[in-house]
Amino acid sequence: MIKVCKFGGTSMADANAIRKVRDIINSDCDRKYVVVSAPGKRNKEDIKITDTLYSCYSEIMEKGNCNKYFSLIRERFMGIVSDLGLDLDINTILDNTEKEMIENRSADFCASRGEYLSALIFARFIGFEFVDAIDMIRFDSEGRLNIDYTDDKVKNVLKGKENVVIPGFYGKSYEGKVKTFSRGGSDITGSIIARGVKADLYENFTDVSGFLVCDPRIVPMAKTIRQITYKELRELSYMGASVLHSEAIFPVMKKKIPINIKNTFSPQDEGTMIVPNDKYNYREGDPIITGIAGKKDFTVIIIEKSMMNSEVGFIRRVLSVIEHHGLCVEHLPSGIDTLSVVVSSEQLRNGILSDVINEIRENVSPDYIQVIENISLIATVGHGMTRRPGTAGKLFTSLAEAGINVAMIDQGSSELNIIIGVANSDYEKTIKTIYKAFI
């Protein structure tokens, strides 16, 4: 069996955490490929290494050097090496790193050095071989991951190698320069490596024991999700659940490689298994829903016009207005004579909302337009909903009994989720009510 493990920033934050990571890897000989992040926060007041490296870049662009902020980087990594008792010339490595950062004058290159240094140190500490991600991960001319080319590179570079440490978060652009993923991108690196080596399991270690059914700041004792499908995860990630980078499932999805979210600081916990639909292990007594997630601050533009359904091109003309202003549509619920356009309120500031309304009036001559602001979208997700009649009824009954007014309803054709719109002021109450009704 082959396992790829990714360890996040809290897992690499200091020598004590790194020793825990070593013990986890040594406890299972199937853990052959390890992807690491840059050191994260050691406490709430601490600063992440990656944030400090971005500050280094700003200092370089302003002053031509990064003496102020790189001194913090130097202190942090020298402390880790010293606390681990490593025989490693970290001073020379850091000198070269600082020089390269100044020469490159690249935000991506600067930000990537946290993972690079973290992987170098950890490889030496655990006795694994270091392999640089830049030798394997490729981006195309539009900055997108070139998955097929990358897949070939991973297979070729890692062929015959076992017990390898790889820095996460970055690869090589089509110009041959270091390019990073978006923040949290080490999750994607781990997924890419798992795909390339045909792993049986991708273990993603963080500081929590898996996904929770909902935000623990709203429901403090929220339960852990035992098992979740790729599609359910996509729905919850889109609505704000953030344990795993939302793009990390794509490299492994086609190969049907499961992901196990686990806790570095409580490795005995089962965590959450992320699996394809056909590998979902349903147990009697599993809840109807998998998770609840949401976002605040949306605006709903409700357009009414008699016989809208028989007017060719009506929706296209409405959406052309939205496109003209460069807006992204979150949802588009419709009826025979109504169409609702849901857009993030952030995009409609500085008079844009007024301009959009005026242009919609000019383009489609509606009978009536209504704007509802300060709306939260909340998704109740679960493929078990398709097997259980009465799920929607139970959901809306519980909300009615709690005195919550539902301003909008949108259910996908797959019946995987039900999205509702409620007032921002009812956001927390709505999540608590749904959790109580189903969990």
Q: Residue 400 pLDDT more than 70? A: yes
Whether 234 is covered by a domain: the verdict is no
pTM (two decimals):
0.87
Range of the domain at 366: 291-438
Task: Cite the beta strand spans of 253-388 per DSSP E.
Answer: 259-263, 272-275, 291-304, 329-331, 338-344, 368-381
Same domain, 249 and 312: no
With respect to residue 218, please indicate whether it lies within any of the assigned structural domains. Answer: no
Phi/psi of residue 101, each to 5°? -65, -40
Q: Is residue 315 part of a domain?
A: yes
Residue 221, in any domain of the structure? no
Q: How far is CA 24 from CA 17, 19, 34, 282, in A?
A: 11, 9, 11, 29
pLDDT of residue 422: 96
pLDDT of residue 254: 87
CATH (domain of 141)? 3.40.1160.10
Per-residue pLDDT, 386: 62
Do 412 and 359 fall within a single domain? yes
Last residue of a domain, one of 199, 231, 255: 255
Q: How many CB atoms lie within 10 A of CB 103?
A: 10
Whether residue 189 is found in the same domain as residue 299: no
What is the model's pLDDT at position 233?
86
- Residues 142, 75 within the same domain: yes
Q: In the predicted model, is pLDDT for residue 241 greater than 90?
A: no
pLDDT at residue 280, as a whole number: 81
Mean pLDDT of the chain: 93
For residue 187, the model assigns a pLDDT of 94
Band of residue 331 on the pLDDT scale cut at 50, 70, 90: confident
Tokens of residue 286, six digits: 């599993």
pLDDT band at 384 (very low <50, low <70, confident <90, very high): low
100 and 158, same domain (yes or no): yes
Question: Is 232 a member of any domain?
Answer: no
Whether residue 250 is found in the same domain as residue 340: no
Q: What CA–CA distance (Å, rounded) separates 400 from 213?
A: 22
391-401 and 427-438 are packed helices; what angle lies between their axes, rounded to 10 degrees? 130
Same domain, 250 and 339: no
Same domain for 433 and 301: yes
Does the residue 269 lie in any domain? no
Q: How far is CA 311 from CA 96, 364, 366, in A?
A: 66, 10, 12
**Residue 14 near residue 84 (C-beta atoms within 8 A):** no
Token representation of residue 374? 């300060």
Structure-derived torsion over alpha carbons of residues 346, 349, 354, 358, reported in degrees to the nearest 10 = -60
Average pLDDT over residues 347-354: 94
pLDDT above 90 (res 288): no
Nearest-angstrom CA–CA distance, 263 and 257? 19
What is the structure's pLDDT at 3?
97
- Beta strand residue intervals within 236-290, DSSP E: 259-263, 272-275
Residues 53 and 185 in one domain: yes
User: Three-state DSSP class for 302?
Assistant: strand
- Distance (Å, rounded) from C-alpha 73 to C-alpha 302? 52
Compute CA 399 distance to the chain's CA centroid, rounded to the nearest angstrom.
29
Q: 218: closest CA among 245, 240, 251? A: 240
Residue 277 predicted with pLDDT over 90: no
400 Cβ contact list (under 8 Å, min separation 6): none
In eight-state DSSP terms, residue 133 is: G
Q: Which residues contact 401 (CB under 8 A, 6 or more apart)?
A: none
Q: What is the mean pLDDT of residues 170-177?
A: 96
Residue type, 306: S
408-420 pLDDT tens trace: 888 766 668 889 9
Average pLDDT over residues 45-56: 95
Does residue 40 sit in the same domain as residue 169?
Answer: yes
Question: Is pLDDT at 327 greater than 80 in this prediction?
Answer: yes
Q: In terms of Cα–Cα distance, which of 298, 296, 287 is closest to 381?
A: 287
Domain containing 296 — which CATH number? 3.30.2130.10
Share of the chain above pLDDT 90, in %: 78
Whether 277 maps to a domain, the answer reads no
Within a domain: residue 129?
yes
pLDDT at 15 over 90: yes
250 with 321, same domain: the answer is no
DSSP 420-431: EEEEGGGHHHHH
Backbone angles phi, psi at 198, to 5 degrees: 55, 50
271 vs 384, residue with greater confidence: 271
Same domain flag for 110 and 189: yes
Number of domains in the chain: 2
Per residue in 73-112, pLDDT (tens digit) is: 999 999 999 999 999 999 999 999 999 999 999 999 999 9
CA dihedral 111, 112, 113, 117 (to 10 degrees): 140
Long-range pairs for 54-62: beta carbons < 8 A, 24 or more residues apart: 54/107, 54/110, 54/111, 56/101, 56/110, 57/101, 57/105, 57/106, 57/107, 57/110, 57/111, 60/101, 60/102, 60/105, 60/110, 61/105
- How far the first Cα of the chain sits from its last, in Å, is 35
Average pLDDT over residues 300-308: 93
